[in-house]
Chains A and B, each alone.
Chain A
Amino acid sequence: MIIRLKEGGERIPLTISGSDPKKGLITIIFQEIGKTTIELGRMEEGESILNLVGPLGMPAELKNFGTVVCVGGGVGIAPILYRVKALKSVGNRVISIIGARNKDLLILHNEMKELSDELHIATDDGTLGRKGFVTDVLDEVLAENRVDLIIAIGPVVMMRAVTGVGSAHGVRTVVSLNPIMVDGTGMCGSCRVTVGKKVRFACVDGPEFDGEFVDFDELLQRNRRYLKEEAASLMVMRAGRCTCFEETGCE
């Protein structure tokens, strides 16, 4: 879905990580990383978001695939949890692998453990689970099990690596892409990604694509489009006013 906090705010895409249609509730788990997510984190109970539109994009394919490995990295664990729940509800065997830089950044591991048939944890510094990357674990899991599908949600670099490991074992990997979006309805083309030599809009054709065909390098490059401006935006927010943007462009 796309949210906008306030007048003058930007539209940002976030993934739903849980819902309760009866109560009319949705759960969103996000990481405070840029101006908008930091502001969202500062909101108090009872405050409201100005705009919210969704659900957007194509619904994920859901059926009994057999054995599915779900790989979640960082804040990507939130939507993976939602997916594990759905996959289990239609009878899949789910092996989950989650990872983060350290123990403190690893979210939802108790919930993941409860839902998954098997859970593996990897942290870069070894503070929880094994030391290393999710791909190291994935490699072993794929060697020991007959796996029908891999689903990876997390940083682009992680999804690229997971797809590589999957391909090496002949298993299809579905990834969830997170390019920069504006409207989220297929109107602007900001989120275009190359998949199998064709240009697709992640907001309406995705966000999930077959990892094997995604041009990850292009996606990484396109996601860097506004680094400078994003930094300026944060600086202005922290300083309460712009101190350097006009003169130096915050370089």
Chain B
Amino acid sequence: MKKQDVSRRIKNFEEVALGLDETEAVLEAKRCLECQRPWCVRGCPVGVDIPRFIRAIRDGRFEDGIRIIWEKNSLPAVCGRVCPHEVQCEGVCSLARGCSKFMTAKGRARVEAFLEQFNLTQKRRRPVSIGALERFLADYAAEHGITPYTAGSDMKGKGKVALVGSGPASLAAAGELARRGYHATIFEALHAPGGVLRYGIPNFRLPEEIIDREIRQLKDMGVEFRQDVLIGRTLTIDELLSDFDAVFIGSGAGAPVLMGIEGENLNGVYSANEFLTRVNLMEAYRFPETDTPINIGKRVVTIGGGNVAMDSARVALRLGAEESIILYRRRREEMPARREEIENAEEEGVEFKFLTTPTKYIGDDEGCVRAVECIRMEPGEVDDSGRQRPVPVAGSEFTIEADTVIVAIGQRPNPLIPTTTQGLETGKIRNIIADESGRTSIKGVFAGGDATTGAATVILAMGAGVRAARAIAEYIEGCKD
């Protein structure tokens, strides 16, 4: 996929990846093998019928294509941009894993014939760019005014569901509920809907207009949005239960994790949440035209190896930092960020220091951070995550200068709802305990996404939202009998 030129893009917040045009999309669609057993579908947490929509693109039936996606996914423009396709649908694409022992003899023969026809060696088996095709269809629909099926008002009598938080889990759940004829009301604490899509993902990766567009489509389907309501304070879960037939908690993992090391409260040390919220939600990059400021130094150090760390380091460059450095305590290949985003960051000039972790922040007389004391790490024994746990190398301390630090080492669920809802069972990190279908310890209360699992991906949250929506529909039907 074409990208915005590096020298230009580090000076703006416009989208980096430019998308496919019609010809490119059809060409890409033609690479699909149309497997008998489509692995890609199983690799998709919401089960989009991928081969069918790719076939529609191949035949030039773009409107059919987007409608096929909408059957299972209410946010294709978002997913086409931020899903980790490489470990989901594309990761299991037969083109990528053509040698799979699970393939039928017939399937393998097709793969071999295809590879031969296009003169591809074993090493160059690039999967079909499913994410790019999904994005193409979503953008095509927007350009051509194609909108999802709008449920008839006669179906609205089926029941009322309250959804807490307006991030991917609730949006997906609301889409599914609306399609099934339920009235969904989403409650959001902030002034704008979208949750992490809005405050956490920068515009250059997911433009605001895209979020607005998909939310507008949900509104067209009858989903109601109520901003400025903090569930757990303004209204409690119990209060929601008295007004609605069921409640879904999709409050996400919005609480920042800090390391608790010396100097972390110095001025200039940001949690990634604060840094990205100021820039994305509050548009601090337009200050003083907008009212929320942000401080950015010449040398910015970001701690962490996930997408949030990549986003923060890249935002820092766009805000005018001369140097943007990422410290990660493990090795390069262990970084949880998407490959594509790591490459984008590198192209833009972000510097990486692996096997390095901060031990304290050093400030000046004014209380502003000036340097980061670090220690080198080496891979130790294998831990729960299946990776070697990094251990500090004694005596390897060193300092690097920094005037801004962004701590991007993870998020935890916000404890507000568990602490204000009696009888709601929680786990180790105050995550809400829910089963596969999102059922919690309270009857009629469902939960899904990061609020139950801790920080994960947009599409996993959406998958959980959709499963919960189905369970909610079943639950409400059951109550009527």
Contact = CB atoms under 8 A, between A and B. Distances in A.
Interface of A: 4, 8-11, 35-36, 50-57, 182-183, 185-190, 192, 194, 199, 204, 218, 221-222, 224-226, 229-230, 232-233, 236, 242, 245
Interface in B227-280: 227-230, 233-234, 254-256, 258, 260, 264-265, 267, 271, 273-274, 277-278
29 contacts: A8-B283, A10-B282, A35-B291, A53-B191, A182-B274, A182-B278, A185-B190, A185-B416, A186-B254, A186-B414, A187-B199, A187-B254, A188-B271, A189-B255, A189-B256, A189-B271, A192-B258, A194-B265, A199-B258, A218-B265, A221-B366, A222-B367, A224-B267, A224-B366, A226-B295, A229-B293, A229-B295, A230-B293, A242-B288
Contacts of A188: 256, 271, 273-274, 277-278
A204 B189 CA distance: 13
Q: Rank and list the top 3 A-B pairs by shortest CB-CB distance, nearest first.
A: A229-B293, A221-B367, A10-B291
A9 B256 contact: no
Nearest to A181: B274
A160 to B, nearest CB: 16
A182 B414 contact: no
Contacts of A53: 189, 191, 228-230, 234
Contacts of A182: 274, 277-278, 282, 292
Contact of A192 (B233, B265, B366): B265
Contacts of A236: 288
A49 to B, nearest CB: 10
A245 B289 CA distance: 11
Given A8-B283, A10-B291, A242-B288, A185 B230 contact: yes
B267 to A, nearest CB: 5
Contacts of B121: none
Instruction: Classify chain B: how many residues form its interface, as a range.
Output: 35 or more
A150 B408 CA distance: 39
Chain B CB count within 10 A is highest, among A187, A189, A190, for A187
B23 interface: no
Contact of A199 (B260, B267, B295, B414): B260
Interface in B132-186: none
A122 to B, nearest CB: 30
Contacts of A226: 293, 295
A50 B283 CA distance: 17
Nearest to B260: A199
B36 interface: no
Contacts of A183: 189-190, 199, 277, 281
Contacts of B228: 51-53
Contacts of B230: 53-54, 56, 185
A194 B264 CA distance: 11
Contact of A186 (B190, B191, B255, B267): B255
B265 A186 contact: no
A23 to B, nearest CB: 18
A11 B366 CA distance: 26
B267 A233 contact: no
Nearest to B254: A187
B242 to A, nearest CB: 18
Contacts of B367: 218, 221-222, 224
B290 A8 contact: yes
A229 B282 contact: no
A242 B274 CA distance: 26
Q: Is the interface of B mostly helix, strand, loop or mixed?
A: loop
Given A54-B234, A182-B282, A188-B274, A245 B265 contact: no
A215 to B, nearest CB: 8
Contacts of A230: 293
Interface string B325-368: 00000000000000000000000000000000000000000110
A11 B282 CA distance: 8
A186 B234 contact: no
A55 B288 contact: no
A233 B199 CA distance: 23
A194 B256 CA distance: 16
A180 to B, nearest CB: 10
B398 interface: no
B265 A233 contact: no
Given A186-B416, A192-B265, A36 B288 contact: no
B355 to A, nearest CB: 27
Contacts of B264: 199
Interface in B398-436: 414-416
B102 interface: no
A189 B265 CA distance: 10
A185 B189 contact: yes
Given A8-B283, A221-B267, A189 B274 contact: yes
A236 B288 CA distance: 7
A182 to B, nearest CB: 6
B406 to A, nearest CB: 11
A35 B293 CA distance: 12
B288 A245 contact: yes
B312 to A, nearest CB: 13
Given A186-B414, A225-B295, A229-B288, A54 B267 contact: no
A56 B233 CA distance: 6
B117 to A, nearest CB: 52
Contacts of B287: 229, 233
Nearest to A187: B254
B422 to A, nearest CB: 16
A204 B416 contact: yes
A192 B256 CA distance: 11
A8 B255 contact: no
A225 B295 CA distance: 8
A230 to B, nearest CB: 7
Given A36-B291, A185-B414, A222 B256 contact: no
Contacts of A57: 233
A224 B415 CA distance: 29
Nearest to A56: B233
A188 B260 CA distance: 16
Given A53-B229, A187-B256, A226-B295, 4 more contacts: A56-B230, A185-B254, A186-B254, A192-B265
A21 B258 CA distance: 39
Contacts of B233: 54-57
Contacts of A56: 230, 233
Nearest to B196: A187
Chain B CB count within 10 A is highest, among A9, A54, A56, A188, for A188
Given A182-B282, A183-B189, A225 B267 contact: yes
Contacts of A4: 191
